[in-house]
Amino acid sequence: PIFFNFVFHWSSNNIAANKFTFRFTDNNELILEHSRALGSCTTCSKTPANVLKSGYRATIQGTVKNLGSGDTPALISVSSVDDYEDFDTICDGKQFEVPNMVVANAGAAGTMQNLFLLHGSLMLIGWGILLPSGAIVAKFSKHRENSFWYKVHRVVQPIGLLVAIIGWIIALMNFRALNAKNDPGLSYPHAMCGMVTMVIGIIQPVNALLRPHKVDSEPTTTLRMAWELLHKGLGWIAIILAAVTIWMGTTLLPIMKDQRVFQVCYAIAILGIISLVAFFHAEGQKIAYQQASKDSTTDQNQDVERDAVGK
């Protein structure tokens, strides 16, 4: 017996974009009963009538009667049908490959899958690596000379934001998670968190251009302090929201292997960011210690000179 997830995904133009076809035998009426028990569709298009946008999903337990080949799908005897649940199908401690599936509209399916991966990759690079790194440099490298932090920050942040905007456009043009408010799962929360994150991200360079000028020889004005609080606060809020959004996104990919790959890549990115913080912190501490030692030596030399003059 095996467990596997049976999923229909539908594109925004009401054409099946990623439909896997099986042959079911023995108790296949259980699938019909389960789908009917879910009730009428709340995301159906009116033109044509009764066409699903989000699709039907279920977790099925069954026995493979025939693995199938070529254009012939696997023949599966159904044992039970339950509500959809994300899981790794395990067989004797190993991940089990679901039997042969025939893909309807394979070109559209491949295109949609590629869009998922492209969107996720761009967001991981933009919000998972570049933008947090630019913020870390601005926060922890001010001990470096020649405004190093500012030069890096003003280059890395626009690049990271541009990458993220491209990923955002892909999502807005091809995905319909914003219409899935009543659907179970994390699609809608992921979409909403992503929208808020992107709006904040786009606001940041705008308020950076409007920042009050700071004169080093003069006290910081109240307006400048308020701007710094707003700019820094929004930036860190966006980075935290982005982390949550990326995590949710890694769980939404339709293929479990892709989920694992993105989760590992994001974990590596987080470790890299933590290492960057540790590096700049250690460097700052070292420079502060060297400066303190230098100041102490200077004070001692001045004391010796004063003592010599006094004698």
Q: Cα dihedral sign for 195, 199, 200, 205?
A: positive
pTM over 0.75: no
Give the Cα separation of 297 and 303 in Å (integer).
10
What pLDDT sits at residue 234?
94
Instruction: Using CA atoms of 33, 36, 39, 41 in order, give the dihedral in degrees to the nearest 10.
Output: 140
Domains of the chain (ranges; CATH) run: 2-104 (no CATH), 107-296 (1.20.120.1770)
Residues of the chain with pLDDT under 70: 1-23, 28, 38-57, 67-74, 84-110, 184, 217, 295-311
What pLDDT sits at residue 257?
84
What pLDDT sits at residue 152?
94
Q: What is the DSSP string of the chain?
A: -EEEEEEEEE-TTSSEEEEEE-EEESSTHHHHHHHHHT-S-SSEETTTTTEESS--EEEEEEEEEE--BTTBPPEEEEEEEEE------EETTEEPPPPP-EEETHHHHHHHHHHHHHHHHHHHHIIIIIHHHHHHHHHH-TTSSTTHHHHHHHHHHHHHHHHHHHHHHHHHHH--GGG-TTSSSSHHHHHHHHHHHHHHHHHHHHHHHTPPP--TTSPPPHHHHHHHHHHHHHHHHHHHHHHHHHHHHHTT-SSHHHHHHHHHHHHHHHHHHHHHHHHHHHHHHHHHHHHHHHHHHHHHHHHHHHHHHH-
Amino acid at the residue 200: I
